Amino acid sequence: MSKLEMLTPQNCAVALIDYQPAMYQGVQSHDRLGVFNNIQIVAKAAKLFKLPTVLTTVAKDSFSGPFMPEVTELFPEHDIVDRTAMNSWLDAGFRKQVAATGRKKFIIAGLWTEACVLFPTLDMLREGYEIYIPADACGDLSLEAHNRAMDRAVQAGAVPITSCQFAFELQQDWARAETYDGMMEILKAHSPYGIQIRFSKWALGEHASEGGSKAA
């Protein structure tokens, strides 16, 4: 493995942690709607490119509420691991699902950055995993809390990325026709670039494509 190696549909997996109502309520580091959209970019890209994906909640029935349905509906067959530990890695069910992916490159995103993202990141780094954190899809009690958690994760060896960077890295070439339309739908629904996509389709016709005629 190498951090210089691009993320591909064949070499990475995703773990999404605690996107639940109680956890969203504490997010003050980012606009919550931004986090809400960015995690959908990550989840929909994982679905589109068929990446192994692990979902986990904390105290779902007794405190925090269900994982956001906008994500769970993408993975209807998934067994969502519910925990009591802030650190997902302490839960045997989470570790089992991570191991079952067979991947060593993991994208980890969650609420909150300083605990539910950072803690499993540190443990998984120790276990030999490469960790990539889409920082704009995470959130915390304050900007300071989020930034210091990201600093610590990066100092420990994690790689900071963004939600769209993750999706673009998987797509690589707009002429990759099998995922082009799916990528366009993700960007239209959840990113500012969606406005440009709609305009180009209106101005140039539905045949307009960044991938040329191959992807149109």
Q: Name the residue among 56, 91, 44 with its Cα closest to residue 189.
A: 44
117: Cβ contacts below 8 Å, ≥ 6 apart: 17, 108, 109, 110, 133, 138, 149, 153
3-state SS string over 30-85? CCHHHHHHHHHHHHHHHHHCCCCEEEEEECHHHHHCCCCHHHHCCCCCCCCEEECC
Among 12, 116, 138, 164, the one annotated catalytic: 116
In terms of C-beta density within 10 A (0-12 exposed, 13-18 middle, 19 or more buried), how is residue 166 classed? buried
Tell me if residue 116 is catalytic.
Answer: yes
Q: Among all residues, which ones are annotated catalytic?
A: 116
